[in-house]
Amino acid sequence: MGGIVLITGATSGIGKACAFKFAQNGFNVIITGRRKERLEALKKELEFKYNITVLPLNFDVRNKDKLQKAFDALDDRWKKIDVLINNAGLALDLKPIHEGDFNDWDTMIDTNIKGLLYMSRMVSELMIINRSGHIINIGSIAGKEVYPSGNVYCATKHAVDGLTKAMRIDLMKHSIKVTQIAPGAVETEFSEVRFRGDNERAKKVYDGYIPLSGKDVAEAVFYVTTLPPHVNINDLVIMPMAQANAMVFHKIS
């Protein structure tokens, strides 16, 4: 194994688990995120444990200018990106459409859609030069279904679903694979962010069943990169055993 993987939103949850999984398998890792202290701590831990090299890039994927500046500063070695994991994303609140907060909408759209587009645009250009690569978009069951008060978040993940299909068509001729991983309920900081630090409300989301962990999703992400060159997993939906769809759970009280 080995190569270079770039992971957005790498300081927690699925992104952090992916950083560990790929580092464990000999990849050098580019990690991006908004929280500089977490990036530096993760860099030290990965390099110490796995004897690989980590490049932390501190920016918000919503900020196209800072993203461009970071890419312009990359040396040639780091431009040979083998795998891009578009993981950065979030949900904010659960409100019906007529009560939605405009700032929340902008943040979700700018992060989940535009941030993914900015990063994919810059990395895919490098991959075309290298004539190989694999882009993995972390979608959601919310991109397959819609649930009450999920409106804008669900819409952004439906956009990820559509963009993944479009990217697959555009990049296929350049020998670049494109995959969507669409998880169901994953116990990360997702619900804490959605409910603005209300930990009690966030914990209730996962009561009565065993949700996925970030490591579970990272295993699926890594798996799709291990297949022969002629094999591409277009779309992979991964759910907890106790979840049938976005709304149906088997919970033990």
Q: Is 246 domain-assigned?
A: no
Q: Is 229 domain-assigned?
A: yes
Residue 82 structural domain? 3-238
Evaluated on CA atoms 153, 156, 158, 161, the torsion sign reads negative
Domain count along the chain: 1
Clarify whether 223 is annotated catalytic: no
Q: Tell me what pLDDT residue 195 has.
A: 87
Walk along the chain (253 residues) in steps of 10 and give the mean pLDDT of each run. Answer: 91 96 98 95 97 96 95 94 97 96 97 98 96 97 97 98 98 98 94 88 93 98 98 98 96 87
Q: Tell me what pLDDT residue 136 has.
A: 98
Q: Tell me what pLDDT residue 198 has.
A: 85
In contact, 198 and 143? CB cutoff 8 Å: no
Q: Tell me what pLDDT residue 1 has.
A: 58
Exactly one of 118, 147, 153, 223 is catalytic; which is it? 153
Task: Specify the length of the chain in residues.
Answer: 253
Q: Is 149 domain-assigned?
A: yes
Q: Tell me what pLDDT residue 199 has.
A: 87
Q: Is 243 domain-assigned?
A: no
Q: Is 251 domain-assigned?
A: no
Q: Is 248 domain-assigned?
A: no
At 118, which CATH number? Answer: 3.40.50.720
Q: Is 176 domain-assigned?
A: yes
